[in-house]
Structure 1
Amino acid sequence: MIKIMGPNGEHYCLVFETMGPNLTTFLKIRLEFQIGEPWERRFTKSFAKKALWDTLQALHFFYEHSVTHGDLHPDSILTYVEQLQVTPDTEISLKQSEGDAQPLKRRDGKKDLWPPAYLLEPRPLDDYVSYDLDPLVKLADLGGAFKEEDSIVGAKAITPVALRAPETILGERLGKGIDIWAFGCLIFEMIFGRPLFVAIQSLGGEDYDETSNDEHLIQLWEVTGPLPKPLPGSWRRADQYLDASGNRLEVKPQEDDYVSGDEDMGSIDGVNEEESDGPPLAYLGQFLSLEDQIKKGRTILTRKSLDKFWSSYGGSSSMIRRNGL
C-alpha cells in the first residue's frame, strides 16, 4: 500500500502485480464465453467455479481482519495473468503507437490547453490469462471498504443497485452481510449469464428513490421469501404490497408470456441445473435468504455453509478444510 498526495487530497493505493482485465471486460472479449450471438455470453462452468472460489477466499481474508469490502461486483474482480519478464524487447512489443490512439477533442469545438492530444485505451493483457494459474482472479477496489467498528448506513453504500442487500435498500446499518448477499447474486450471474435482480430506476433517473426501492424489495421477496423481522418495519410502504402477516397481497395476473420468478430460476437462457453443473438453485435461494443469514450469523454462513455449497458445485470439501474455511 502506498499513499499519494494530489490536488484532491490524500489517497491510499494498493499496488498489485500486473493484472489482467476485470470480469466484465474478460467476459466480453474472450471467444470461449460466446454462446450464440456475439452479445450472448456466459462464463464457462470451470472458470466460474474457480473465480467464485478465489473471490470467496478474498472475502474470508477481509472478514478475518474485520473489513467489509462493500463494493463486490464483476468490475472489482481482476483476472490474474502470467507475469511478464520485462526486457527491452517486451517493452517494444507492448508499446502502443499513436495509431492506436483516440484524438481528444472538446464537444463544443473549443481548444483546451490542459488535456493531452490523444488517449490510449488500456491493453487488457487477456492473452496472458491462463486457467492453470492459482489464483485465477483477485479482488480489488477497496474504495467502498470499511472496518466493522466504523460501519455505515445503507445510504452511504456504493454497491451497484442490482446487488444491494435488503438492509442497504432500507437504509439500515451495514456489515459484512452485504458482501455475502452480493456474492450470492454473483453465483447466479456467473452461472446463468444474467443478473439475478434487475436494477430498476425511476422515471426521474434516481437509483435510490422510494419507488425503485419498493420494486427492488418485491423482487427480493419473490426470490428469497418474506423479509424477516425487524426489516419489514423499516419498509415505509410495505402495507401497499404485503398483508399483516408479511405475505404478498394478491398480484394481478401477468400476460401469457410472463415467466414467474420460480420458473425463471429453473431455466435461464437455455441452462438448467444439470447443464450448469452449478449449485442447486434451491440452495442458492437459501444462500441468499436474509433470515437464514440472521439466524446463523453471516460469518458462520461463510465458513460452514460453504462445504455444502462447494460440494454441490463440483468442488472438493477437502479444499475448503485445507484453506481453513
Structure 2
Amino acid sequence: MSTTTTTAARSEERTTNQHFSLDADGKEVVDLSFQSEGLGLPAEKGYGWAQLEFSEKIGYDLRYTITRKLGWGKNSSTWLAWNEVLNKYVAVKVLTGHATDLHERKMAWEEQALKRLTFPSVSENCVHILEYFTMKGRGSAGSHLCFTMPLYGGDVRSLIQSRTSPFPLPLVKRILLHLLRGIAFAHERGIVHTDLKFDNVLFTTPATTEDIEKWIQEDPPRRNPPELSSDGVVKSAVSQPMKLPSEEEALRATYVLADFGCALPSKRHAHCNITPVLLRAPEVLLGGEWDTPADIWSFGCLAYELITNETLFQYRTYDDFGLTETENLLYQMMFHACEEFEPTQLSICPLAGEYFNSNCELKKEPTLGRWPIQELIAEHKILSDEECFAAGAFVQRCLRLNPEDRATAKDLLEDKWIRGIE
C-alpha cells in the first residue's frame, strides 16, 4: 500500500478533533481540540466537565430532567432542566470535577457565597440557589457539585453583541441600577464578586412553560460530531441559549448579578489578580490589598462601556512614551481619573516600585494630561450636555485611584443620575 493510501486510511479513522504533529524528537503526537467543552478530559488535570444525556434524570429523587445545554464555561456547564416537584423549568449549573474537588478541599468559595445570597432572604437582582447536590460523574470527570437556580433569559454580553449601536439610555440606566442593587446586596452579605463583566449579568425571561416547550420542539437539542478524548469517543451537547428578548422586553426585564465562581469573602486580600485586566482596579494591578472597592472600579468601567458601547481602557503599548501595556494602563487611569497616585497608596503596593519613582510619577515620565469621563462621553455625541455631565460624574465616582475615595454601591444607589429611574 502506498504512503498516500495509508495516510488517507488513517485520516478516515480519526475523529473530528484529532490532529497530528511532531515533537522535538520527530515523534508523532496527537493534539486534541474541541468544538465545545472538552468532554472526557480528567478532573485531576483541571477539567472534568459533566457528560450528561438528554432526558437524563439527576438530583434528589431524580427530580430534574435534563433537556438541553444552555452554555458552558471554564469551571462548569449550565443546563435547562424540568423540575418535577415545582413543575417548571429551571437552570442547573454543574461544576467540573476539578472545581468540585476544590470545593471539597475548601479551596473554592462559590457554594458559601451562594448560601449567603440565599439565606435568610434573597434579592431579585442577585442570583440565588433553589437546591444544591453532588452527583457522580462519568469516566474521569470525578464528581459534580450542582446548583439549581431560576431560569434566566441570557446575559447582557449577548444583548450587546446583537447590536451595532449603544443601548437607549433608559435601558442603560435600568441595567446599571439593577446591577448596582445586586452588588450592594452581595457586599452587604460580606461578598466580593471579583469578576464583574457583562457575561455575568443575566436577565429574566418572559417565556412561559408553553413558550419553552414550543422552542424545544422547533429547535431540538443537538450534539456536536464525535470527538476523541481521554475517556474515548464523546459527543458534546451544542450550547443552545434562550432566545434574546426584544428591546421592549429588555426594558421590562430584571437584571441579575450572577456567577459567583470567583467570589471571595469581604476582607483585605492581596497578591492575587482578579477581574479581566481592562476592568482591574489600580490597587489590584499594583499588587496591593483590595476589597469591595475593587468591584466598584469594575462597575464604573462597565457603566462607561454600556453608555458608549466602547471600552474605557486599552491594554496595549504606548510607543510615543515607550510604555508597556501595564504602564500605559496606569497612565490611562490617571489620565481619565484626573488624579495622581498618592504616596500613602503606592507605599503599600508591592509592585509600585516597578512603575513609579519616589515622586509618585511614572518612571518614563510621559506627558500627563486630563481627559475627564464627562468629556469622553460627550465625544460620542449620543447624550445631551446635561446627561453627559451627570453620567460622567456618576462614573467618575467609581474611578477614584484610591479605593478609600470611591463611592460604595449603597452611595451610588442614591446618585441623582440613577435614582428613581423606574
Greater relative contact order structure (CA < 8 Å, 6+ sep) = 1
Which residue, 62, 67, 72 being the options, matches 2:191?
67
Partner of 2:298: 182
Q: Does 1:191 align with 2:191?
A: no
Gaps of 5+ in 2: 1-128
Larger Rg: 2
- The aligned amino acid for 2:264 is F
The equivalences for 1:1-80 within 5 A come to 1=129, 2-5=132-135, 6=137, 12-29=145-162, 33-34=163-164, 41-80=165-204
Offset at residue 138 of structure 1 (A): 0.9
Q: Closer, same or farther in 2 for the Cα pair 1:87/1:148, shift >3 Å?
A: closer
Partner of 1:207: none
**CA deviation profile, 1:28-68 (whole Å, cap 9, x unmatched):** 22xxx43xxxxxx3222111110111111111111111111
User: Any conservation in 1 of the 2:203–2:253 contact (CA below 8 Å)?
Assistant: no
Partner of 2:397: 286
Offset at residue 22 of structure 1 (A): 1.2
Offset at residue 78 of structure 1 (A): 1.1
Name whichever structure is richer in strand by fraction: 2
Query: Following the alignment from structure 1 to structure 2, what is the Cα–Cα distance between the partners of residues 19 and 128?
Result: 15
Report SS of the residue matched to 2:209: coil
Q: Closer, same or farther in 2 for the Cα pair 1:239/1:180, shift >3 Å?
A: closer
Q: Closer, same or farther in 2 for the Cα pair 1:8/1:143, shift >3 Å?
A: farther
Which residue, 402, 405, 408 being the options, matches 1:301?
408
Query: Following the alignment from structure 1 to structure 2, what is the Cα–Cα distance between the partners of residues 114 and 162?
Result: 39
Report SS of the residue matched to 1:179: helix
Partner of 2:266: 148
Q: Closer, same or farther in 2 for the Cα pair 1:87/1:284, shift >3 Å?
A: closer
User: Any conservation in 2 of the 1:20–1:126 contact (CA below 8 Å)?
Assistant: yes
Query: Following the alignment from structure 1 to structure 2, what is the Cα–Cα distance between the partners of residues 178 and 245?
Result: 21
Farther off after superposition, 214-223 or 9-18: 9-18
User: TM-score, structure 1 length as denominator?
Assistant: 0.71
Offset at residue 123 of structure 1 (A): 2.9
User: Any conservation in 2 of the 1:45–1:276 contact (CA below 8 Å)?
Assistant: no
Q: Does 1:123 align with 2:241?
A: yes
Q: Closer, same or farther in 2 for the Cα pair 1:192/1:8, shift >3 Å?
A: same
Q: Closer, same or farther in 2 for the Cα pair 1:50/1:105, shift >3 Å?
A: same
Q: Closer, same or farther in 2 for the Cα pair 1:215/1:104, shift >3 Å?
A: farther
Query: Following the alignment from structure 1 to structure 2, what is the Cα–Cα distance between the partners of residues 76 and 316?
Result: 24
User: Any conservation in 2 of the 1:3–1:10 contact (CA below 8 Å)?
Assistant: no
Offset at residue 91 of structure 1 (A): 6.2
Offset at residue 82 of structure 1 (A): 0.9
Report SS of the residue matched to 2:202: strand
User: Any conservation in 1 of the 2:194–2:264 contact (CA below 8 Å)?
Assistant: yes
Q: CA RMSD in A?
A: 3.7
Offset at residue 251 of structure 1 (A): 3.3
Query: Following the alignment from structure 1 to structure 2, what is the Cα–Cα distance between the partners of residues 173 and 244?
Result: 21
Q: Does 1:251 align with 2:363?
A: no
Q: What percent identity do the matched residue pairs reach? A: 20
Partner of 1:316: 420
Query: Following the alignment from structure 2 to structure 1, what is the Cα–Cα distance between the partners of residues 216 and 257?
Result: 30
User: Any conservation in 1 of the 2:178–2:256 contact (CA below 8 Å)?
Assistant: yes
Aligned residues: 279
User: TM-score, structure 2 length as denominator?
Assistant: 0.56
User: Any conservation in 2 of the 1:45–1:278 contact (CA below 8 Å)?
Assistant: no
Query: Following the alignment from structure 1 to structure 2, what is the Cα–Cα distance between the partners of residues 87 and 244?
Result: 63
User: Any conservation in 1 of the 2:340–2:401 contact (CA below 8 Å)?
Assistant: no
Gaps of 5+ in 1: 35-40, 203-209, 254-258, 320-325
User: Any conservation in 1 of the 2:341–2:360 contact (CA below 8 Å)?
Assistant: no
Query: Following the alignment from structure 1 to structure 2, what is the Cα–Cα distance between the partners of residues 278 and 302?
Result: 20
Partner of 1:265: 376
- The aligned amino acid for 1:81 is T
